[in-house]
């Protein structure tokens, strides 16, 4: 693989992670945001590696989104308990 192309893909993944974090109202990029950025890349290495391992990138994206939503609800519940 061309190292310059790898650098472009990495930058794209970080931009996607930033966009995902902002869209979800988060002020910083978390691992989940970066995972989304990597998995949503068309023809990206992360998706190809997962597919070769028998893991569906789409299923993993759904699981990441579900876990993130549950984490948000737990955070909100803790805040309400203190209130």
Question: 5-33, pLDDT tens digit by residue?
Answer: 668 888 899 999 999 889 888 899 988 89
pLDDT of residue 2: 67
Residue 1 has pLDDT above 60, yes or no: no
- Please tell me the distance from the alpha carbon of residue 47 to that of residue 41, in angstroms, as a whole number: 8
Per-residue tokens: 2: 């061309």
- pLDDT tens for residues 29-41? 988 899 889 988 8
Number of domains in the chain: 1
Question: Structure tokens of 17?
Answer: 């992670």
pTM for this entry: 0.70
Domain residue limits at 36: 3-82
Segment 62-68 mean pLDDT: 85
What's the count of helices (H) and strands (E) in the chain, helices before strands?
4, 0
């Amino acid at each position: 693989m061309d190292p310059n192309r790898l650098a472009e893909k990495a930058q794209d993944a970080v931009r996607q992670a930033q966009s995902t974090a902002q869209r979800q109202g988060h002020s910083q990029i978390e691992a989940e945001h970066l995972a989304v950025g990597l998995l949503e890349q068309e023809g990206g290495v992360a998706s190809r590696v997962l597919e070769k391992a028998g893991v569906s990138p789409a299923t993993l994206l759904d699981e990441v989104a579900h876990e993130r939503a549950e984490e948000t609800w737990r955070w909100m519940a803790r805040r309400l308990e203190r209130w």
